[in-house]
Amino acid sequence: MSDNQKIRRRLRCPNCGSLDVIKWGIRNGIQRHKCRSCQSLFSARRKDISKSNRFPWFRKWILGKMTVEDIAATSGYSSRQLHRWFDEYLDEYPTWIIKTTVPIYLLIDGTYYSNDHCLIVYRAANLKRTIFYRFCKTEDDDEIASDLINIRSMGYDIVGITTDGGDNIIRAVEYAYPNVPRQRCMVHVQRECLSKITLHPRSPEGRMLKYLVMKLGEINTHNEKMWWIGAFENWVEENKEYVCEKAHYPNSARTYYVRDELRKAYVHLRRAIPNLFMYIEHPHHTRSDKCNHTACTSGHHRTRPCHGIPQCASYVVFLIYEEDDGALGRCAPSDYIRSIFCFPDI
């Protein structure tokens, strides 16, 4: 085909999706068409039919390897027209409706990448499935609350939530699900405490607190929970003055905590206790979101939702518009997303 030869615009049958369509007379001044596959008749001037003809090209672009220029060469539509139509689809991202009667125990966690992007994963622990995720700059409470509301509108019945204890996530959960039991992730609690007291504390007080921190993973019954809380309270009663001892800076009235790292570990543990053992009262409640760490860090395959086009696709493609002018004509969205988020495959 020569460069000057115009590509014939290919119509798609709205009934069966076939491209094997021919002209079939004119009625009231409107060209009609016939599908050779299903024998149905239609007019391309109907808005619903025109829109159904466009969507397969948008689907090829957003999910496949074709650029806008490739689709323009194949479909017969101009690149400018395709851009205008694709913008309309991006403004109307699909709403997922999930029909399930299984109660969901939700895990929420965010992982930060070296290119200043954050991936927040919402994972159904009992289904072992990632049901939602978001790319963003930081763990913003308004965005997380919006995600939780969207998850509820999708039809999921959330009966328990496990978080890392971050203030923004907690505020979002309290706003969207104020009456749902909230479990603190034990892995995060242990990691935070050990980062303060270290793996080899020098003082007997630090070694005892480390022992209690490591025992958290072995608490499975109500009696074990009461034993642990009693042991922690005894430790606090015996060592609070030692842990919270203050001293004055030289030549100043200002004070500081002598053993600040040990005190921080104690405070972190004390604040986590109210939501640390929810899994005992709710047996299906997971005590840790560590499987979310795997989902966040092992590549895009583990974070792909199982239903429809991801809602974050519109957000990611808008990043292309805002941060890299001309990228849409240069490469397919899937290639661009893989490059900016360092995913090996998509």
Q: What's the rounded Cα separation, in Å, for the pair 181 and 173?
A: 10
The CATH number linked to 176 is 3.30.420.10
Burial status of residue 285 (CB atoms within 10 A of its CB: 0-12, 13-18, 19 or more) = buried
User: Is the domain of 65 the same as that of 87?
Assistant: yes
Residue range 143-157, pLDDT digits in tens: 999 999 988 888 888
Whether the pLDDT of residue 54 is over 80: the answer is no
Q: Do the domain assignments include residue 215?
A: yes
DSSP calls for 95-135 = PP-----SEEEEEEEEEE-TTS-EEEEEEETTTTEEEEEEE
Q: What is the pLDDT averaged over residues 210-215?
A: 93
Give the chain's end-to-end CA distance (angstroms, integer): 34
Whether the pLDDT of residue 258 is over 50: the answer is yes
User: Is the domain of 146 the same as that of 197?
Assistant: no
3-state DSSP of 10-72: CCCCCCCCCCCEEEEEEECCEEEEEECCCCCEEECCCHHHHHHHHHHHHHHHHHCCCCHHHHH
Number of domains present in the structure of the chain: 4
DSSP calls for 271-309 = HHGGGTSHHHHSTTS-S--HHHHHHHHS-GGGG--SSSS
User: Is the domain of 293 the same as that of 154?
Assistant: yes
Q: Do the domain assignments include residue 141?
A: yes
Residue range 277-287, pLDDT digits in tens: 988 887 766 66
User: Is the domain of 259 the same as that of 272?
Assistant: yes
With beta carbons less than 8 A apart as the criterion, state whether 184 and 163 touch: yes
Give the CA angle between residues 102, 100, 125 to the nearest 5°.
Answer: 45
User: Is the domain of 233 the same as that of 267?
Assistant: yes
Residue 11 confidence (pLDDT)? 74
User: Is the domain of 167 the same as that of 132?
Assistant: yes
Residue 229 confidence (pLDDT)? 93
User: Is the domain of 191 the same as that of 264?
Assistant: yes
Whether the pLDDT of residue 301 is over 70: the answer is no
Range of the domain at 3: 1-45
Whether the pLDDT of residue 345 is over 90: the answer is no
User: Is the domain of 149 the same as that of 59?
Assistant: no
Q: What's the rounded Cα separation, in Å, for the pair 320 and 305?
A: 22
Share of the chain above pLDDT 90, in %: 23
Q: Which residue has the higher pLDDT, 179 or 314?
A: 179
User: Is the domain of 102 the same as that of 150?
Assistant: yes
Q: Which residue has the higher pLDDT, 242 or 54?
A: 242
Q: What is the pLDDT averaged over residues 58-83?
A: 83
